[in-house]
Amino acid sequence: MAITGRTRLAGLVGWPVASSRSPLIHNEWLRRAGIDGAYVPLPVAPGGLRIALDGLRAAGFAGVNVTVPHKEDAFRLCDTLTEAARACGAANTLVFGADGLIHGDSSDGEGFLRSLRAAGIRPDAGPALLLGAGGAARAIAASLLAAGAEVSVANRTRMRAEILRDELRDAGAGPVSVLDWDSRGDALPDHALLVNTTTIGMAGDPASSCALDRAPASLAVADIVYVPRETPLLTQARARALRTVEGLGMLLHQAGVGFQAWFGVRPEVDAALERMVREDLA
């Protein structure tokens, strides 16, 4: 669709943004829905977020996604924040309101919950064990707590898991238990869901983030790594006939949160969209 004076604009602010798949995903949704809109990559160097947001808002943008290195700055620059953004201490989905305010949300946790539900897994089915203690772990832990699950976190560097626990408690997200990294495999019988949020298993890394020998048959296993599609953890889980959730779903579903806010339609995450993104990643 041609860009005109009526085209509704959104985009991705980050540094770098050239390799992001977000424009591909959003513009495909716009095309499918026949919406007069466009989603553009917006490279903004570190330190430049405030002036970029002022300019984009003045230019009539509906809102933006914000990625590395600006997510914490975005959190500070927003006028209002959702519970999810507060729990994460970061905002990645900004809406420029008609009221002149910047409304900030964090879509990663919601994206993760949607990807679980799309796989037929209830987030509150039982206690969840998260591996890792970075930003993704924080967002996912907050969303699982909000959905009513008990959450434990194990991280190679235990102190980071303790900091994550304290930050979530201080943000009012809820209580998190910290487990020793070396006890993660033994803790599986007490859990209904295992989520790898570490980088273990990314392309070229043959390691599995957790041995599943002690996994109960009811355990669901999710990995947020999406290249490769099937990580060593998911291979192991499938060999044991456990239910699995691939990482690409979270990326696609979290994109849907912003799309809905800017363009007014909840987009569909289907096999054709996943295939399109996979082919682009290949």
Which residues are the active-site residues? 71
Q: Which of these segments, 85-93, 129-137, 238-246, 260-268, binds ligand ATR (CB under 6 A)?
A: 129-137
Tell me which of 134, 172, 175, 264 binds ligand ATR, using CB under 6 A: 134
Near ligand ATR in 198-227, by CB under 6 A: 198-200
39 is in an annotated binding site: no
Smallest distance from ligand ATR to CB 198, Å: 3
What distance in Å separates the CA atoms of residue 16 and residue 194, rounded to the nearest whole number?
A: 31
* Positive/negative CA dihedral, 159, 164, 167, 170: negative
Q: Does 80 bind ligand ATR (CB under 6 A)?
A: no
**Environment class of residue 127 by beta-carbon count within 10 Å: exposed (0-12), middle (13-18) or buried (19+)?**
middle
Q: What percent of the residues of the chain are helix, what percent strand, and what percent coil, each to the nearest 5?
A: 40, 20, 40
Residue whose CB is less far from ligand ATR, 82 or 197: 197
Q: Does 229 bind ligand ATR (CB under 6 A)?
A: no
177 is in an annotated binding site: no
CB atoms < 10 A from the CB of 43, how many?
13
Q: Does 133 bind ligand ATR (CB under 6 A)?
A: yes
- Per-residue HEC secondary structure of 175-209 comes to CEEEECHHHCCCCHHHCCEEEECCCCCCCCCCCCC
Side-by-side strand order, sheet with 220-223? 176-179, 151-154, 128-131, 193-196, 220-223, 243-245
Of all helices (H) and strands (E), which one includes residue 222?
Answer: strand 220-223
Tell me which of 14, 109, 135, 249 binds ligand ATR, using CB under 6 A: 135
What distance in Å separates the CA atoms of residue 201 and residue 96, rounded to the nearest whole number?
A: 38
Q: Which of these segments, 39-47, 131-139, 183-191, 227-235, binds ligand ATR (CB under 6 A)?
A: 131-139
The interface mask with ligand ATR, positions 149-178, x = CB under 6 A, is ------xxx--x------------------
Hey, what are 53's tokens?
């947001």
The interface mask with ligand ATR, positions 239-258, x = CB under 6 A, is --------------------
Of all helices (H) and strands (E), which one includes residue 234?
Answer: helix 232-239
Smallest distance from ligand ATR to CB 108, Å: 9
Closest-by-Cβ residue to ligand ATR is 134
Q: Which neighbouring-strand residues pair with 43?
A: 14
What distance in Å separates the CA atoms of residue 196 and residue 129, rounded to the nearest whole number?
A: 9
- Report residue 139: phi and psi, to 5°: -65, -45
Q: Does 106 bind ligand ATR (CB under 6 A)?
A: no
CB 11 within 8 A of CB 262: no
Q: Does 197 bind ligand ATR (CB under 6 A)?
A: yes
Smallest distance from ligand ATR to CB 139, Å: 8
- Which residues of this chain interact with ligand ATR, rule CB under 6 A? 132-137, 155-157, 160, 197-200
Binding residues: 20-22, 67, 83, 92, 108, 132-136, 155-160, 224, 226, 247, 254
